Structures are given as structure tokens and as C-alpha cells.
Amino acid sequence: MDLQQLTQLDQAHVWHPYSAIDSSLPVYPVASAEGVRLKLLDGRELIDGMSSWWCAIHGYNHPEMNRALITQLSDMAHVMFGGLTHRPAVALAARLVELTPDALQTVFFSDSGSVSIEVAMKMAIQYWHAKGKANKQQFLTLRQGYHGDTFAAMSVCDPITGMHALFSQALAQQFFADSPRCRFANSCSDEDIASLEQQLMIQHNTIAAVILEPIVQATGGMHFYSAEYLQRARVLCDQYEVLLIHDEIATGFGRTGELFACEHARVTPDIMCVGKALTGGYLTLAATLTTLTVSETISQGEPGIFMHGPTFMANPLACTAGLTSLRLLTESPWQKNVLRIEQGLKKGLQPCQHLTGVIDVRVLGAIGVVELTTPVDMNKIQPRFVEAGVWVRPFGRLVYLMPPYIISDTDLQSLTAAVVAVVDSICS
Ligand SMILES: *Cc1c(COP(=O)(O)O)cnc(C)c1O
């Protein structure tokens, strides 16, 4: 298949994320990827600024990841998880329990972030059911949040900006509190938390859990908010007898400068979802972790089992990728790397602050955001990034970077310089 055939067949038959079929927007065929570089089929090389949507934290084609997967493949690619178990799953679960806050002791594996959210929501409902409070089946969440594309996950995305407004009649009705206005590194006033508190006060009898993205509201706007907000949310959940679900799917595994974003606030949720960078971007895998209080209550209540079990649960290859990725992460100076990237992003993106059409430039850990006044024209901006030799995929009014942790200072400078130049060229 040559490049032209591939492009034609792709346009004719293949649906890409959030896209139209037969769209005029270009998609770029990738032949291979190595380190922080995507190698296009036409020979061009792009410096990766996206980590393939938060995932590829060690870069691409990592020799140790590859070796571990080949070894696992020669043992088995997959076996069902009902009634069977295996070392990769058990070792990965044990490692996740070690690395996450102490109270989280039980791990449920699933195939994607969205499904791990569905699982978390089902856990919360089953927990209250087991405790004789079967009317607690709704959820309270934050505006400008994003938790995935499946139905229960969609129901707790921002109802307007969350890309799912057209499904509103088909979705479970949930409760929404205002998006936190208190920014990261600032305190959180009574007023800042009032909306969440009010909803809990009025609705707690029907609410199973509060679900939120700790510290970073990612896809819903890339906002970084106060750690104190998280602490106060934890206190309110306890006060009103509501579980707390943290969605660490984007923030987990070091991206914000702490291994998990909840550590900025030293808060432990009752349920935590991880995904994305869990396998270092190799295979699809997510996990929902919970406390013994939740897992034992569910197991001792009616019907005595947790009602979920995906076909590909705890796929051995994916678990091996997870285990190896966690080893690479924890054995690497990742904190130093994330800090170095944070400094590089701050310095490199700073010139954007003065460009017309830019409202805000913000950086937290290895996340850099340039917020514009108007949504970007993807038809115009995407080819310019590719011409500049970088892979940056803006979203709405946001041009953002979250490079692999292994990126060199030189590549990081090229990446930020390209953002400055391209934003300047489209806004002026
Ligand atoms: C990406 C994401 C999800 C959904 O994960 P998928 O693997 O795409 O299903 C959920 N929550 C957050 C915070 C995410 O960033």
C-alpha cells in the first residue's frame, strides 16, 4: 500500500477520534516512532509534544518495554481472568497498591479509562446498596470536568463544554458544582467551595459519590486548581457520607510533579481511576483502585459480588507493559525530569504571553498550556505544526504540550519555539 492509497482508504473507511468521515482535515500516516520522534511515512520526523494523549511517558519504542513484552508474548498473550490469575496482573496490582495512597488496597483492571470510570461509579452505587442505602445512585461532579466517552462517564462530563450535550436526554441526570475558581498554589475560600457544599447539603441522600479530576481539569479546559479545594472536598464528602472518586487517568504517574495529583493535597480518595500512562503508552489498560472498606462492604452485601468483568480483564501483555513502565518510571529520576520540563515549558512558552489572541499561559509539571481567545482553525494550524517539525494537537482554544519525560532540553526548546511561532502566525 503506497502513501496515496493509504490516505484514500483512510478517508473512505476509517473514523478517527471526534472526526467526520471523508473529512478535509489531514491525518498523517506514521511509519514508526522512536524516543520522542514520530517518523511519518513521507520521511518527515516530528518531535512529539503530546505523548500520544498523556501516555508515552518514556517515549516510543523503548528497548526494555519491547523486551518485556516479547518475553511475555512467548508465555501467553491472553487468558481469561474469571477463575484464573497470572503473575503480571498480581504483580502490577501489588505495585499499584504500593505506589498509591495507603488506604487503596483493592484493584480492578479494565481496558480503558472510560470503563474504569464506569467501574468506579458502579462500585460507589454497590457500596451504598450493600449498606442499605439503595437510593444513593447519583453523582456530584465539577463543571468543566471530563471523565470519558461511555454513557456513565459522559453523564459526569461538563454538560455544555463536555462534547456530549446532544446526548443529554439519554444520560443519567447528575449534579454539577461550579468549576473551582481557586487556582493552583492558592488557597481555597469558603466561597470557592460553596457550590460543592451546597449541592452536598441538599442532595447527599441521593448522591453515591463526588467524582472529580484532582488538581488538573484536563480535557475540559486544562485548568490547574487549588490543593486546598481537594482537601475541603474530602472533608465535605466525609461529613455528608458520600464517597470520593479521583480520576487520575490524565494526572497519574508523575505528570503534575507528584506521582499522583492527590499527593499535592495529601488526600486519599475512596476510589481512584488510573489509565493512560499506566502502560507507558504501549497497550490499553486502566485500573480502578479502592479501599478495603468499599471492597469488603460490596463483597459482604447483596448480591455478594461486584457486578463487572470485562472479557479482556487484566490482559497479561498490558499488565506486563504496566509493570515495566512503572519500574522504568520509579527507577528513573522522573521528578527531576518533570521539574526540568516544567522550567523549560515556562521559559519556552513565556513569549506567548505577549501575543495577540493569547489570554493565558500556564504550566504545571510537564503540562504547558497556551489559552487563546478563540478556537483554533485545525485546517490551518495542524499543517503548520507539522511543517515546523513538531506534533502538537490543539483542542478548541487550547494549544498544549505534555511531552514524554525523556525529552531533551534541545527538543523541548524546538517544541516550545514552534508553539510560539505557530501561535504568532495564526493570531496575527
Ligand atoms: C482520557 C481520560 C479519560 C478517558 O479515558 P479513555 O482511555 O479515553 O477511555 C477519563 N478521564 C480523564 C481525566 C481522561 O483524561
Quick count: other Cβ atoms within 10 Å of Cβ 172? Answer: 13
The answer to the question of residue 144 being in a domain is: yes
Nearest CA to ligand 1 atom 11: 147
Nearest CA to ligand 1 atom 7: 113
Distances (CA, A) of 51 to 4, 47, 217, 245, 276: 27, 10, 18, 25, 10
Shared domain check, 148 and 280: yes
Is the entire prediction scored with pTM above 0.85? yes
Shared domain check, 91 and 50: no
Q: How many domains does the chain have?
A: 2
Residue 296 makes CB contacts below 8 A (sequence gap 6+) with: none
Return phi, psi of residue 123, to 5°.
-60, -45
Separation of alpha carbons 316 and 321, rounded Å = 9
Shared domain check, 83 and 52: no
- Which of 277, 307, 330 is the C-terminal boundary of a domain? 330
Shared domain check, 239 and 98: yes
Active site residue 18: yes
Shared domain check, 98 and 191: yes
Among candidate residues 418, 389, 422, 415, the one with its CA nearest the CA of residue 45: 389
The answer to the question of residue 151 being in a domain is: yes
Which of the following is catalytic: 48, 60, 122, 276? 276
DSSP-derived pairing of the beta strands 175-177 and 104-110: unpaired
The answer to the question of residue 85 being in a domain is: yes
Shared domain check, 40 and 158: no
Instruction: Express each pLDDT in 322-335 by its tens digit.
Output: 999 999 999 999 99
Active site residue 2: no
Taking the CA of residue 53 as reference, the ligand 1 atom at the shortest distance is 1
Shared domain check, 46 and 98: no
Instruction: Express each pLDDT in 356-372 by its tens digit.
Output: 999 999 999 999 999 99
Q: Domain containing 423 — which CATH number? A: 3.90.1150.10
Active site residue 146: yes
Provide the b/e sequence for 18-48 (b: ≥16 CB within 10 Å).
eeeeeeeeeeeeeeebebbbbbbeeeeebbb
Quote the domain boundaries for residue 277.
76-330
Nearest CA to ligand 1 atom 6: 113
Separation of alpha carbons 273 and 190, rounded Å = 28
Shared domain check, 140 and 280: yes
250 Cα to the center of ligand 1, angstroms? 7
Shared domain check, 149 and 182: yes
What does the CA dihedral 72, 74, 78, 81 come to, rounded to 10 degrees? Answer: -60
Which of the following is catalytic: 247, 270, 282, 400? 247
Tell whether the model's pLDDT for residue 163 goes beyond 80.
no
Active site residue 39: no
Please provide the average confidence, as pLDDT, over all residues in the chain.
97
Separation of alpha carbons 159 and 329, rounded Å = 36
pLDDT for res 427 = 83
Residue 66 makes CB contacts below 8 A (sequence gap 6+) with: none
The answer to the question of residue 12 being in a domain is: yes
Shared domain check, 287 and 227: yes
Shared domain check, 307 and 178: yes
